[in-house]
Structure 1
């Protein structure tokens, strides 16, 4: 038979309630007391009965994570981090791939899975502020990405600032004519697309250059041939720098440029956003804007857990928060002139 809370409390010389507070991660325990309890937990090899605890609180111990794609490297990496963070809080994750389809996103926000998940983390591409204000389901919800409405917690980077930083990096590398490679229209969040375009424009104009809409390319699909054609159009327009909406497009842009005889970065410098694993191992390696993915996962799960705990205890979790994660410009070979 495993150790019980009362066994740990007796060994540590504290109350059962204090042990429970430490086990559940509550902050109002002194460092000295926490240290004694943690030592006793280790000595007795205490393992909480998560199933019993969840049953008492009317919880399943499972959360749903809705992502637009799990083929996209960024979302695959983020999913892994979310699972790891959830596991550290004794939560099991159900991954739901929405494909960025409005009906699938609505199902998650309107109670699909609500009979067996305690909360939902969703990265929306089609959800609107109206969808959130008219939402009927009360399952705790945290959104990944730009804040859509003040009625829901959100965690993400500032897309406008990230795009501006990427464009400024190219300008600092003496790029004078910078093209923007966007994803196909209607293929990702329109909000994020607009913000990244705006950040690009702000950097261009702040540097004293004229904003040229013709230097923004929208390939009809994300297939290699269409992306290559879009890049070829920008190269023919005389660009010496390419800011790509994400790293996947950045990698495709580098390949397309080199296939047409352009040297990267000597003839055209390239930067993306996401810092996916592949960007570190290509030739040349891809410069990128790296979001704090670990921080995004940690903040999202923490925010959802706070909502779940409050709902289980019949309490208010406080006003929804908008968490802006850090990001860093990572200069690699594709912009080193």
Structure 2
């Protein structure tokens, strides 16, 4: 049997209102009364009905998280951290997988779940700032990933991200510091959706300029998707072209894992012949052979900050201007470079 406020009140010899005040932290209650109510709560193992409370407040206690790829280790780890941070708010997270499809992202941005969720954490790939603005006006929203500018220079909603240019610059600068002079960039994209790729390419090119190294177009390896097979294929194509890099900065870790396989198949040693660095800090990189040097964004901080901003919006901060927040990253040096 699940006990109610009425049962606690009867056991403590007080009114239902008094029990409610204790449960909700109302300060002006006599210490002896509070102690009696708290003892009754423990004795009956009473737990508040959060669903009923949320409904009284006009909320569902549900928030949505929409990401491009759940099978990508980065997004899987991000999802885990968002769920953990949301649980601390008393929320349940509904998870949507868009695959970066524009139509599916438009459904998310248009607020298809307006009456189901209290808020949305959204990592879009395909939408413009104008397409995101409408949904953000109705449902409290926090954006992840790359900044999508509005006409006034601000994004359409709160936004949490990593500085991709600075992170890619750090990874490439490290490879240059090892004396590598033909550093390839693997994962180049020129599509509208490839904003992360363009920013990481910019960081790579800035580091080459800093080191006085030429930007050789032959060392740019494209990859339409950023999975292991794409990394292996891009690395094979680069080697077959005769470009012969002595280092490779891969735009994410799954590309790097594929590149490691292709280098092994080609009989090249890592890092002796070709040094390899990735980006994302996924757990697989700690167990690859060799272990993977990588850029590690603070994914836990990113998720926690996104939930905190969403909680502020849901709690009454809907009218404040959107915030832009960057989370830190670090270069983790392992065996591959």
TM-score if structure 2 supplies the norm length? 0.83
Give the structure 2 partner of residue 178 of structure 1: 183
CA distance in 1 between partners of 2:216 and 2:94 (Å): 44
- Which among 250, 260, 267 is matched to residue 256 of structure 2? 250
CA distance in 2 between partners of 1:61 and 1:242 (Å): 46
Alpha-carbon distance, 1:17 to partner:
6.9
Q: Any conservation in 2 of the 1:3–1:47 contact (CA below 8 Å)?
A: no
- The answer to whether the aligner puts 1:301 opposite 2:307 as a matched pair is yes
Larger radius of gyration: 2
Give the structure 2 partner of residue 289 of structure 1: 295
Give the structure 1 partner of residue 169 of structure 2: 164
Q: Any conservation in 1 of the 2:276–2:292 contact (CA below 8 Å)?
A: yes
- Which among 265, 268, 271 is matched to residue 262 of structure 1? 268
- Residue ranges of structure 2 left out of the alignment (5+ in a row): 28-33
CA distance in 2 between partners of 1:223 and 1:160 (Å): 21
Alpha-carbon distance, 1:137 to partner:
5.0
CA distance in 2 between partners of 1:169 and 1:189 (Å): 28
Alpha-carbon distance, 1:49 to partner:
2.7
1:16–1:2 CA distance, 2 compared to 1 (3 A): closer
CA distance in 2 between partners of 1:173 and 1:142 (Å): 39
Give the structure 1 partner of residue 91 of structure 2: 91
1:55–1:226 CA distance, 2 compared to 1 (3 A): closer
1:173–1:20 CA distance, 2 compared to 1 (3 A): farther
Give the structure 2 partner of residue 272 of structure 1: 278
CA distance in 1 between partners of 2:227 and 2:300 (Å): 30
Q: Any conservation in 1 of the 2:110–2:134 contact (CA below 8 Å)?
A: no
Alpha-carbon distance, 1:229 to partner:
3.9
Q: Any conservation in 1 of the 2:230–2:255 contact (CA below 8 Å)?
A: no
Give the structure 1 partner of residue 215 of structure 2: 211
Alpha-carbon distance, 1:208 to partner:
0.8
Q: Any conservation in 1 of the 2:281–2:294 contact (CA below 8 Å)?
A: yes
1:20–1:223 CA distance, 2 compared to 1 (3 A): closer
Alpha-carbon distance, 1:133 to partner:
4.0
CA distance in 2 between partners of 1:165 and 1:173 (Å): 13
Alignment of 1:1-337 (within 5 A): 1=3, 20=24, 44=42, 47-135=47-135, 138-149=138-149, 150=154, 151-182=156-187, 186=191, 189-219=193-223, 227-235=231-239, 236-310=242-316, 316-335=318-337
Give the structure 1 partner of residue 31 of structure 2: none
Alpha-carbon distance, 1:271 to partner:
0.7
Alpha-carbon distance, 1:191 to partner:
1.8
TM-score if structure 1 supplies the norm length? 0.83
Once the two structures are overlaid, the 10-residue window that deviates more, 271-280 or 133-142, is 133-142
CA distance in 1 between partners of 2:23 and 2:323 (Å): 30
Alpha-carbon distance, 1:289 to partner:
0.5
Q: Any conservation in 1 of the 2:298–2:328 contact (CA below 8 Å)?
A: yes
Alpha-carbon distance, 1:132 to partner:
3.0
Q: How many residues end up aligned between the 2 structures? A: 313
